[in-house]
Every structure is written in structure tokens, then in C-alpha cells.
Amino acid sequence: MEKNIQDTADFTTRLLLENKAWSQEILENNPDFFKTLSKAQHPDYLWIGCSDSRVPAETIVNAKPGQIFVHRNIANQVINTDFNCLSVIQYAVAVLKVKHVVVCGHYGCGGIKAALQSQSSSLMITNKWLMHIKDVYRLHKEELAGLDEEAMLKRLVQLNVMEQVQRIAHTSIIQTAWKESQFPKLHGWVYGLENGLLEELVTLDHTTKLESIYRYDD
């Protein structure tokens, strides 16, 4: 037990030291960087990604602090009753005026794989979250049934991303913004852990024709 505590302390100490070194390096190259950054943020992108530690938004697109507004959760989902995610979208679109919203999934997603398993009574809250992925599977079961396990998992990752983009488009937040400014564009991307590359699956904008039952007409 004492060794585990010491290992944890050593790790957190290292993180703090890494932070200090990073800050010093930034200041050496640009002494006013943090002073300028602290005044306001003007990101052009909202990134809705997976919580997976292997898919850090800013790192994989080589972005700098202040360029991307980020929300992450298990399997990069947009759920209509998740006020955390919806408030992020509303703030990004209505206040920050982002020009693009990116939903980024990734191959090898543990959330997608777990959603295809039987539910565990020890993970009651997680089960409820994964239920939305199970619904995506159910909607596309006929297509997925003809694939082997690896191909099915990859395809479900893609289908899940595309479903989340549709859900964003169905919100009053986006439809109001489209009427007022024709932005933001919505993008569905998937990231490959094996090669570090992004693939675009779908793009929606103010010209997209939504099904009437999802449209806000007022």
C-alpha cells in the first residue's frame, strides 16, 4: 500500500514538473503567450470526442491552446437529455460563434465494444449511457449482421459518429444558428489508433434537408 501511494505521488509530481517545463518553454518562445490567451477565447471549432486517453483532441490535429473548444465523454455521444453536452454546444454556438462542430469517434473504441456485450449489474450508470449505442446497433442490425466481428465494430463506430452528427442537427441550437448565420458546419470524423489519421464520414450544413419531424419551423 505504501509503495502504491509513493508511486502515485511520484507520478503527480512528475506531471507538475512537466507542466512547469512546458510553461517555461512557451514563455521562452513567446513571453506574452499566456497574457494574450487569458484575455479571451475565440475558437473556430467545437470538438465532441471520446474520453479515451489515446485520442486527445488538440494533439492529433496539432492545435494550439485556444483553437478548439472541447467536450469529451464515453463514445463521443450527443444525448438529448445530457444537459452538460447540450450546454457546451449552446455556449460554443451561441456565444463563441464557432464555425465548425466536429464529432470524432475512433476505431478500437471500448465504449462501442462494451455496448455490444451483455449488461453488467456492477456498472448500472455506465449501462444507461451505453444504451444509446445499443440503440444505434439495433437500428442498423441488418447491415451489421453480415460483417465479421472486427468489421462490425469498425462500422458501428462510424454509424455512431454519424448518428451523433444527426442528433446535433436536430437541436434547436443548431437550427436557430443556421437560420441566423448559416453556421456552424457539422462534421463526423473517425480517428485511427493504428495510423493516427482522421477520416471524414459526413458533413452537414445549413443547406441540409432534415426530416420534417426534426425541424423547428418557428
Instruction: List, by residue number, the catalytic residues.
Output: 50, 52, 54, 106, 109
Residue 12, all three cell numbers: 503527480
* Residue 47 contacts residue 71 (beta carbons within 8 Å): yes
Contacts of 92 (CB under 8 A, 6+ apart): 43, 46, 69, 98, 101
| Helix/strand/coil for 202 | strand
Rg of the chain over all Cα atoms, to the nearest angstrom? 20
What is the layout of strands, in order, in the sheet containing 68-73?
68-73, 45-50, 100-106, 185-191, 198-204
| Helix/strand/coil for 100 | strand
* Grid cell 450508470 in the structure block, residue: 125
Query: Of all helices (H) and strands (E), which one includes residue 216?
Result: none
* Residue 187 contacts residue 101 (beta carbons within 8 Å): yes
**CA–CA separation, 167 vs 211, rounded Å?**
12
